Amino acid sequence: MSTETTPAYSPGLAGVIAGETQICWVDPNAGLMYRGYDIHEMAQQASFEEVAYLLLNGEIPSAKQLTDFTQQIAAQRELPAPVVKMLRLLPRDVHPMDMLRTGVSMLSMFDRELGDNSHAANIRKSIRLIARVSTLITDGWRISQGEEPLPEKKRDLTQAGNFFYKLTGSVPQDWQIRMLDTIFILYADHEFNASTFAARVTASTLAGIYAAVTSACGTLKGPLHGGANEESMKMLEEIKTPDRAESWLKKKLAAKEKIMGFGHRVYKKGDSRVPVMREIGRDLGRRTGKEQWIPICEKLEEAMGREKHLCANVDLYAAPVFWMLGFPPQLNTPIFAASRVAGWCAHVVEQHDNNRLIRPRSLYTGPPARPYHSVSSNGAASSEQ
């Protein structure tokens, strides 16, 4: 008989502290800090590059450090030619997240520092990953639409501005860049969310940063995580108008269906990012004349609060925001990835800098010990002969 004591078990690791981090703190009471800075203070003013630098290096950059970092990212955007060739081989209807996961995996083989997990090499590879995840998304999308990728000509554009440009061929207006910067900042990190945890588990075996980010891309795609922002748009399109929201919701809840864009493992009093995303949505509604989407979300919020006491998460509002910015819904989760790659990389750097293998236990619920009879002594097996 085993003398092992049964450790505490929490399904889905709910409430379990699985590691330490200095990168990000999610306050269950609707707060979020990156390295001690409240994201609400940064979201409206900082650039995504400033936040990515902070996540990776621990401090806000000086003006010169920010310029250098921004230029380093811009200089690394171009994909190796064989990776572009691979994108052309994929089926046209492949999901952009599958394309991205495969692209990140392939990129690893073109990085001369692949096998170097030192802090300095990990930071350099993070810069390349932040730059090229965006390019994989924009170039992959254009190829899947039968269009040619645009050359990397706009080094003066930031990641947010370049994302618009590489997708559409037009340089966006300043307010569009500001909005996408804010969205990228909101999505950049969220402590031990599923994809980041997947990245850290992979990194903890001393596999490299590309393997970790590949794991993270695979994990982000699921609809309970990053995939929710694509599913939320399908839901809003089905509802169509605010007056239909409550009855639609009640029908889905009666059928015991999950409502995308609601609920969260950590936040119980609201998602810290929702008020900022909702405000962007209202602004976009006015600018684009598509004023129905945010009121649908608000009606759903009210009804969901009454029916299930569940709060909206950021993906509910991200869906119409991306739509009004002109992005197709299949790119919702990849846009999340274009930002979260900064957080994934920061966590891999932190994991490698102070590594211990992440290897939990499981609670065995299979059959009790029983005698084994080999196939040769088994009646059924011999009757087959």
- Residue from 12, 366, 367, 368 in contact with ligand COA (CB under 6 A): 12
264 carries an active-site annotation: yes
Q: Tell me the closest approach of the beta carbon of residue 316 to ligand COA, in angstroms.
A: 7
Placement of tokens 């800098």 in the chain: 353
Q: Does residue 261 touch ligand COA according to CB under 6 A?
A: yes
Contacts of 269 (CB under 8 A, 6+ apart): 28, 29, 30, 311
Instruction: Output 49 or 315, the one with its CB closest to ligand COA.
Output: 315
- Residue from 245, 315, 317, 351 in contact with ligand COA (CB under 6 A): 315
Instruction: Output 140 or 263, the one with its CB closest to ligand COA.
Output: 263
Q: Catalytic residue among 139, 315, 347, 352, which?
A: 315
Q: Tell me the closest approach of the beta carbon of residue 43 to ligand COA, in angstroms.
A: 17
Instruction: Tell me the CB-side half-sphere exposure of residue 95, using CA atoms within 13 A.
Output: 15
Q: Catalytic residue among 264, 271, 347, 352, which?
A: 264
What DSSP state is assigned to residue 32? E
User: Rounded to an integer, what distance in angstroms lies between the CA atom of residue 80 and that of residue 111?
Assistant: 10
Q: Does residue 228 touch ligand COA according to CB under 6 A?
A: yes
Instruction: Output 91 or 360, the one with its CB closest to ligand COA.
Output: 360
Q: Does residue 18 touch ligand COA according to CB under 6 A?
A: no
Count of residues making up the chain: 385
Instruction: Output 33 or 260, the one with its CB closest to ligand COA.
Output: 260
Helix, strand, coil percent content, the chain, rounded in steps of 5: 60, 5, 40
Q: Tell me the closest approach of the beta carbon of residue 303 to ligand COA, in angstroms.
A: 12
Stretch that binds ligand COA, among 126-134, 157-165, 234-242, 263-271 (CB under 6 A): 263-271
User: φ, ψ for residue 372 (rounded to 5)?
Assistant: -100, 135
- Residue from 103, 263, 281, 320 in contact with ligand COA (CB under 6 A): 263
Strand order in the sheet with 37-38: 24-27, 31-34, 37-38
Q: Tell me the closest approach of the beta carbon of residue 378 to ligand COA, in angstroms.
A: 43
Asked if 292 and 299 touch (Cβ cutoff 8 Å), the reply is no
Beta-strand pair 24-27/31-34: antiparallel
Q: What is the largest CA-CA distance in the chain?
A: 80
Q: Does residue 310 touch ligand COA according to CB under 6 A?
A: yes
- Residue from 192, 262, 293, 327 in contact with ligand COA (CB under 6 A): 262
Q: Does residue 276 touch ligand COA according to CB under 6 A?
A: no
How many residues touch ligand COA (CB under 6 A)? 16
Q: Does residue 265 touch ligand COA according to CB under 6 A?
A: yes
Q: Tell me the closest approach of the beta carbon of residue 224 to ligand COA, in angstroms.
A: 4
- Interior/surface letters 66-86, b for 16+ CB within 10 angstroms, e for the rest: beebbebbbebbebeeebbeb
What DSSP state is assigned to residue 312? B
174 carries an active-site annotation: no
Residue of 284, 285, 283, 277 lying closest to 339 (CA atoms): 277
Q: Does residue 141 touch ligand COA according to CB under 6 A?
A: no
- Residue from 33, 43, 183, 260 in contact with ligand COA (CB under 6 A): 260
Instruction: Output 135 or 313, the one with its CB closest to ligand COA.
Output: 313
Instruction: Output 83 or 239, the one with its CB closest to ligand COA.
Output: 239
Q: Does residue 258 touch ligand COA according to CB under 6 A?
A: yes
User: Rounded to an integer, what distance in angstroms lies between the CA atom of residue 185 and that of residue 176?
Assistant: 14
Asked if 87 and 137 touch (Cβ cutoff 8 Å), the reply is no
Angle between helices 228-239 and 245-254 (to 10 degrees): 120
Which sign, positive or negative, has the C-alpha torsion 158, 164, 166, 170? negative
* Beta bridge pairs of residue 32: 26
- Residue from 240, 251, 308, 373 in contact with ligand COA (CB under 6 A): 308
| Helical spans, DSSP H, in 145-173 | 159-168
Instruction: Output 18 or 224, the one with its CB closest to ligand COA.
Output: 224
Q: Which residues are tagged catalytic?
A: 264, 315
Instruction: Please give the residue ranges that form the binding site for ligand COA (CB under 6 A).
Output: 12, 224-225, 228, 258-265, 308, 310, 313, 315
